[in-house]
Amino acid sequence: MAEPATNDIGIEIRNLYKIFGSNPAAVAPLVRQGISKTELRDKHGHVLGLRDINISMPAGGIQVIMGLSGSGKSTLIRHINRLIDPTMGEILVGGEDVVKMDRLSLRQFRRHKTAMVFQKFALLPHRSVLENTVYGLEVQGVPRAKQLESARHWIDRVGLSGFENSYPNQLSGGMQQRVGLARALTNDAPIMLMDEAYSALDPLIRTDMQTVLLDLQKEIRKTIVFITHDLDEALRLGDRIAILRDGEVVQQGTSQDIVLRPADDYIANFVKEVNRGRVVQVDAVMQPVAPGHQPVGEPVRTGSTVDVAMARLAKEPDQVLTVVCEEGRPLGTLTLAAVARAMVSDEH
């Protein structure tokens, strides 16, 4: 099959509000003025879903939306393909406002621009793996030969070759989720929405599926919105992360931003038990390279985590490691003290 085209469709969420209740418009001014979620519910009988959400999701990256139960993360992802209509705000996908689409345009948008992977797999039990995988293309009216070619390609890419004629009840949970992923990829939509997609899986299978997604993303470069309540999963998968609490964004940024510069005590409590050695990258803690610096010994590649540097420095504590770019040019230097500081949070 031909290599997929580079995806250039990003998502911009601007001033997004969602209020659940009998008359959201009547209480919207109170929400804009900052009324609490509790007061809105107790005094006005409405529930605040989202308040003033502003997130820019660059094309071709994995945007993680993280939060505990009730934070609004699943409500947010359902706005992107307008399974939920907002009370106020804009949802720009490739520059087009999904909120303003008519029924026909929205149907076409859902069929061709987005694909969804669900927590509970959402496979059709009477269909085989192959027939589940082609389902989206059937709905689109794609010729049968093209359906089968694309489905078999992605079934193979997610590691399910040989299971094309199996049925969902014959597969493990991890295998069923691979079918869901293959179905989403077969649609060839530029945007993938993954709502707690791996939360129902056992920890080892979950880690395996994360690896599958990261490996595939190097090839497909989709704009992926991934919902999770698990910080380790968020830090591993997210090019960018937005953390929600009570329907509001508390902090957003890269994994480095979240771990090294938590915005408040709420975020600090989230990250204090994180294995920083597996998250913090050498680029975040290195010192600028001095003019004329000549690397001694084997360098460390940019993007490596500090536990890689620590493994080197533990053998020779007095050495100065050099961080180099992909082309081998020196970018900075690392000492044992700098790496050790990076691996220990301020709480310890």
Q: Tell me the per-residue pLDDT of 212-270, one tens digit each, with 9 for 90 and over.
A: 999 999 999 999 999 999 999 999 999 999 999 999 999 999 998 999 899 999 899 88
Rounded Cα distance, 22 and 253, in Å: 35
Residue 183 and residue 187: Cα distance in Å, rounded?
7
Other Cβ atoms less than 10 A from the Cβ of 250: the count is 18
Name the fold adopted by 59-87+99-276.
Rossmann fold (3.40.50)
pLDDT tens per residue across span 178-199 = 999 999 999 889 999 999 988 8
Dihedral angle at the C-alpha atoms of 348, 210, 334, 344, nearest 10 degrees?
0
Distance CA 133, CA 123 (A): 9
User: Which residue bears the tokens 């992802």?
Assistant: 77
Whether the model pTM is above 0.85: yes
CATH 3.90.1150.10 fits 277-343, yes or no: no
Ranges of each domain in the chain: 59-87+99-276, 277-343
Predicted confidence pLDDT, tens digits, the chain (348 residues): 444 444 678 999 999 999 999 999 999 999 999 999 999 999 999 999 999 999 999 999 999 999 988 899 999 999 999 999 999 999 999 999 999 999 999 999 998 999 988 877 788 999 999 999 999 899 888 999 999 999 999 999 999 999 999 999 999 988 999 999 999 999 889 999 999 988 888 888 899 999 999 999 999 999 999 999 999 999 999 999 999 999 999 999 999 899 989 999 989 988 888 888 888 899 988 999 877 777 777 889 998 999 999 988 888 888 889 999 888 888 999 989 989 888 886 554
Three state DSSP letters for the chain? CCCCCCCCCCEEEEEEEEEECCCHHHHHHHHHHCCCHHHHHHHHCCEEEEEEEEEEECCCCEEEEECCCCCCHHHHHHHHCCCCCCCEEEEEECCEEHHHCCHHHHHHHHHHCEEEECCCCCCCCCCCHHHHHCHHHHHHCCCHHHHHHHHHHHHHHCCCCCCCCCCHHHCCHHHHHHHHHHHHHHCCCCEEEEECCCCCCCHHHHHHHHHHHHHHHHHHCCEEEEEECCHHHHHHHCCEEEEEECCEEEEEECHHHHHHCCCCHHHHHHHCCCCHHHCCEHHHCCEECCCCCCCCCCCEECCCEHHHHHHHHHHCCCCCEEEECCCCCEEEEECHHHHHHHHCCCCC
Q: 37 is written with which tokens?
A: 């979620």
